[in-house]
Amino acid sequence: MGELADNSIVNRRDFFRRVFRAAFAVLLGSLSVLAVRRSRSSDMVWQLDPAKCIQCGKCAVNCVLSPSAVKCVHAFNMCGYCKLCFGYFQPSPVALNTGAENQLCPAGAIKRKFVDEPYFEYTIDEALCVGCGKCVKGCSAFGNGSLFLQVRHDLCVNCNECTIARGCPARAFSRVPASQGYILKGQDRE
């Protein structure tokens, strides 16, 4: 009888060792799968398709960052360098100067510099840009559309479920391979 009791204790110990080893193997396997998924998701980034964007203003308020990781980008090759830029000026400006009362951008992120009569150069100060899209809307409505919005990869925290994408009425956001880079205005997508 004493021999039987000793065997049952050893078997019980072996049983628990096997259970703990199996649980550890399952845990290790789960952690490996999670690591692979994270590495794959880090290869994907959020991006905004300027052809779908309707400049609704939600990029400025729905991003988890403040200010938003969405910034205005200027395609200089498309710009007309107009004296009256509808991305820069209010619809009915008091004067065609850099006074805040004349500017469309609420943050003063667009800088205007005289080039040669009647041309002006407009640049974006990304640090000031909040991603509201007011300048993009003005440029698209009355100009040539050289201003557009983009998710800046160096600022974006690459949320698993982007709050801007979830709230975008135009469904202009998608996950794209990080190697793809930015979707530029006028660029064909494959």
Residue, of 162 and 37, whose pLDDT is higher: 162
pLDDT band at 106 (very low <50, low <70, confident <90, very high): very high
pLDDT value at residue 127: 94
**Average pLDDT score over residue span 102-117:** 94
Q: What is the pLDDT of residues 32-87, one digit of tens each?
A: 666 555 544 468 899 999 999 999 999 999 999 999 999 999 998 889 898 999 99
How much of the chain, in percent, has pLDDT values that exceed 90?
Answer: 54
Tokens 């065997």 -> residue: 7
pLDDT value at residue 171: 95
pLDDT value at residue 73: 92
Q: How far apart are CA 102 and CA 104, in angstroms?
A: 7
pLDDT value at residue 179: 86
How much of the chain, in percent, has pLDDT values that exceed 70?
Answer: 86
Residue 89 clears pLDDT 90, i.e. is over it: yes
Tokens 């078997």 -> residue: 11
pTM value? 0.72
Mean pLDDT across the chain: 85
Residue, of 152 and 18, whose pLDDT is higher: 152
Label residue 183 left, alpha or beta by phi (over 0 means left) and psi (-120 to 50 means alpha): beta
Q: How far apart are CA 74 and CA 78, in angstroms?
A: 9
Q: How far apart are CA 108 and CA 126, in angstroms?
A: 10
Residue, of 189 and 110, whose pLDDT is higher: 110
What phi and psi values does residue 174 have, to the nearest 5 degrees? -155, 165
What phi and psi values does residue 148 have, to the nearest 5 degrees? -155, 165
Q: Which residues pair with 120 in a beta bridge?
A: 114
Residue 168 clears pLDDT 60, i.e. is over it: yes
Residue type, position 105, single letter: C
pLDDT value at residue 190: 47
DSSP 126: T
**Average pLDDT score over residue span 13-30:** 78
Q: What is the pLDDT of residues 111-136, one digit of tens each?
A: 999 999 999 999 999 999 999 999 99
What phi and psi values does residue 122 have, to the nearest 5 degrees? -120, 125
Q: What is the H or E stretch that residue 173 is in?
A: strand 173-177
Q: Which residues pair with 148 in a beta bridge?
A: 73
Q: What is the H or E stretch that residue 71 is in?
A: strand 70-74
